[in-house]
Amino acid sequence: GWLIANQDRDVGQQLQDGIRLFKISTHYAVKHSTGWVTTDIAAEGARLNRVAAKLPPGARAALQRLSRSVGNGAPTVSARDIWLCHTLCELGATRMVDFLAAIRRFVALNPDQVIVLFDEDYVAERDLKSAFRRAGLFRRLATLVRAEPLPTLGDLIRSHHNLVVFSQEPTSGKYAWNPYAFRWIQDTPLGARK
């Protein structure tokens, strides 16, 4: 269902292929009875994705109406949920809980592996927590402490906290398992020439 896919293999196959870090983009969306998934731009509130953020409020409302009409205005088969999408869920979407369930199955079979998620987050932290709980992964989330040395991979594996999450945007600090990434890592800015 992805119109412009970055990968041609599902997450289970990517894990089998050795991928251990996933850049994800979490959005609120609704799945319609037609199978079409539409972005819930209004639900993202102040945490707008980069396309919606560049639009004035009237244009965002029009984009939302267009999105619903593309979904044929059909009644939804699910309430709003968190989906992994690239900018807009109309271009392709994977329900976050399904993605996380694949990771849970992999980690259950491979408890000696560490998985890292780098989240370009457009949803509330409390809703992310709910998704991790529903997928059965919340107890596996690692907590990094700034004043202490980083745990080794062995430490993470032995403690059964072998899922590390980083947020691309600053976080509230209320959810220790969801730290602001750039307090821990460095990145080459997009568009850098040197």
Chain segment 4-16, per-residue pLDDT in tens: 777 889 999 999 9
Residue 181 has pLDDT above 60, yes or no: yes
Indicate the range of 3-7, 84-88, 147-151, 170-174 predicted with least confidence: 3-7
- DSSP readout, 22-51? EEEEEEEEEEBTTS-EEE-HHHHTTS--HH
Which string of b and e fits 75-95 if b means at least 16 CB within 10 Å?
Answer: eeeeeebbbbbbbbbbebbbb
Compare 72 and 170 and report the one with higher pLDDT. 170
**Residue 76, pLDDT score:** 57
Using CA atoms, how far apart are residues 145 and 161, in angstroms rounded to an integer?
Answer: 14
Residue 47 has pLDDT above 60, yes or no: no
Using CA atoms, how far apart are residues 64 and 69, in angstroms rounded to an integer?
Answer: 9
Using CA atoms, how far apart are residues 128 and 24, in angstroms rounded to an integer?
Answer: 12
Using CA atoms, how far apart are residues 28 and 38, in angstroms rounded to an integer?
Answer: 9
Predicted confidence band at 159 (pLDDT cuts at 50, 70, 90)?
A: very high
Percent of the chain with pLDDT over 90: 59
pTM: 0.85
Using CA atoms, how far apart are residues 79 and 30, in angstroms rounded to an integer?
Answer: 6
Residue 152 has pLDDT above 90, yes or no: yes
Amino acid symbol at 124? A
**Residue 68, pLDDT score:** 59
Q: Look at residues 47, 15, 19, 37 and name the one whose alpha carbon lies nearest to residue 121.
A: 47
On the 0-12 / 13-18 / 19+ scale of CB atoms within 10 A, 139 is: exposed
**Residue 69, pLDDT score:** 60
Which string of b and e fits 170-194 if b means at least 16 CB within 10 Å?
Answer: ebeeebebbbebeeeeeeeeeeeee
Averaged pLDDT score across all residues of the chain: 87
Predicted confidence band at 71 (pLDDT cuts at 50, 70, 90)?
A: low
Predicted confidence band at 54 (pLDDT cuts at 50, 70, 90)?
A: low
Percent of the chain with pLDDT over 70: 81
